[in-house]
Amino acid sequence: MSDATQKIEETVKSHDVVLYMKGTKEMPQCGFSSRVAGVLNYMGIDYTDVNVLADEGIRQGIKEYSDWPTIPQLYVKGEFVGGCDIVTEMTLSGELDTLFDENGVAYDKDAAEKIRQANA
């Protein structure tokens, strides 16, 4: 196991919600990362952000770890959820709420509903 893979695995398994993204949750560096961070921030999710632009090993390693070619990547309780399109679809369908509920992740249910209403 490479150092990057080991670091990724430790991060994913030691935090309830992790977002591998370009930039940070306070300052995303791409539109897709911004969209996912925006959803998580708006819903009040307590999550760990990992800026893949700060470490080329992590940037490549996360793609191999998940067998998913793009960033951002969301993990909940050590499990890969998906990228921007999947997280967006799950948010709008309510599946993301269910995933958080099933895994004991606190979030603002009213905020989640407002996102759906705004996109109806």
Phi, psi for 71 (deg, rounded to 5): -125, 140
- The first and second tokens of residue 97, run together, are 């709420």
Q: CA quadruple 4, 6, 11, 12: dihedral positive or negative? A: positive
Annotated binding residue 30: yes
Number of helices (H), then strands (E), in the chain: 6, 4
Known binding positions for [2Fe-2S] cluster: 30
Known binding positions: 30
